[in-house]
Amino acid sequence: MPSFSAAQLALTEVLRQRLAAAGCQYGRFDVSEPGTYLSLSGQKADGKTLYFWEFSQKFHELVNAYLQEQYDEYTSQLTIQIDVATAQAQYVRTPKLVPELATAATTAPTLLPTHDPTPYGLALAAQVAARLDLGTALAYSCRGYGGMGLARGAGAEYQYGEVWDGTLSPSKTFPTWAAFVAWLAAQSDFSLAGPDYQSASYRSTHRPITRRRLTELVQLA
């Protein structure tokens, strides 16, 4: 087990207690930068995802102490994944993308690492569908706009669209497993990035579906 700082241990225990009190087996906490975006979600035994909106002053103080020792100008996001039963936590730091170099207007734009045009393929698409079938949505839990997400709606309908206040508003729906898997398998980070993917401000606010997000979803314990 990795050696954690006092700030990490304190924050881990507070998160574990809150998740346990809500009957969650696992939890994930994300913070994008000091003083702004906080996201806490927990997964119950039945696969349902629970989102937490309110945070106490003590919790904010613990988060700030953690950020002071871990966050720097090269950090895009800090993530904590917690196993409630074992109290084990994994701390993950996501670095910022290297800023794009200016190019001439006649030069084709360079694809960024997060916008790979390689299709996701049937294997990953089927795994995502299986996870959605369990009731787990791919959606950031935050107030207001939460990026693009995937979920399974009423009946057998699969949904893709914007997430607001943790709830997905579908712009595309797929009536069957086969239709959804075929569509997702043909998509890529590039196709789902949107027309303004080269803009840093757009990337930070749009939060598109990516291979990384899909892989994290299917790897949930």
CA 201 and chain centroid, separation: 18
The pTM score is 0.49
Does 117 share its domain with 155? Answer: yes
Domain stops at, among 64, 96, 128: 96
Task: Round to whole Å and give the CA distance between 157 and 179.
Answer: 10
Is there a contact between 62 and 77 (Cβ–Cβ < 8 Å)? no
Domain stops at, among 66, 96, 126: 96
Instruction: Please enumerate in sequence order all residues whose Cβ is within 8 A of that of 200, keeping only pairs 6 or more positions apart, or say none.
Output: 97, 99, 100
Regarding beta strands 158-164 and 75-83, do their DSSP bridges make them parallel or antiparallel, or are they unpaired? unpaired
Task: Round to whole Å and give the CA distance between 56 and 18.
Answer: 11
Does 69 share its domain with 148? Answer: no
Task: Round to whole Å and give the CA distance between 6 and 211.
Answer: 34
Does 215 share its domain with 194? Answer: yes
Task: Round to whole Å and give the CA distance between 191 and 208.
Answer: 10
Written as tens digits, the pLDDT of the chain (221 aa) is: 457 888 888 988 999 999 999 998 888 888 766 555 677 888 887 777 778 877 788 888 888 888 777 777 667 677 888 888 888 888 877 766 544 433 333 333 444 445 678 889 989 999 999 888 888 888 876 667 778 889 887 666 899 988 887 788 888 999 888 899 999 999 888 888 765 444 444 444 567 888 988 998 888 75
Domain stops at, among 77, 96, 115: 96
Does 46 share its domain with 112? Answer: no
pLDDT on residue 105: 31
Q: How many domains does the chain have?
A: 2
Does 122 share its domain with 56? Answer: no
Does 9 share its domain with 59? Answer: yes
Does 193 share its domain with 126? Answer: yes
pLDDT on residue 37: 64
| Number of Cβ within a 10 Å radius of residue 30 | 19
Does 220 share its domain with 205? Answer: yes
pLDDT on residue 98: 46
Residue 179 forms beta bridges with which residues? Answer: none
pLDDT on residue 36: 58
Does 46 share its domain with 86? Answer: yes
Does 90 share its domain with 108? Answer: no
CATH value at residue 29: 3.30.500
Does 79 share its domain with 138? Answer: no
Instruction: Please enumerate in sequence order all residues whose Cβ is within 8 A of that of 170, keeping only pairs 6 or more positions apart, or say none.
Output: 151, 153, 159, 160, 161
Does 71 share its domain with 109? Answer: no
Task: Round to whole Å and give the CA distance between 190 and 200.
Answer: 15
- For residue 146, give its domain range: 103-221
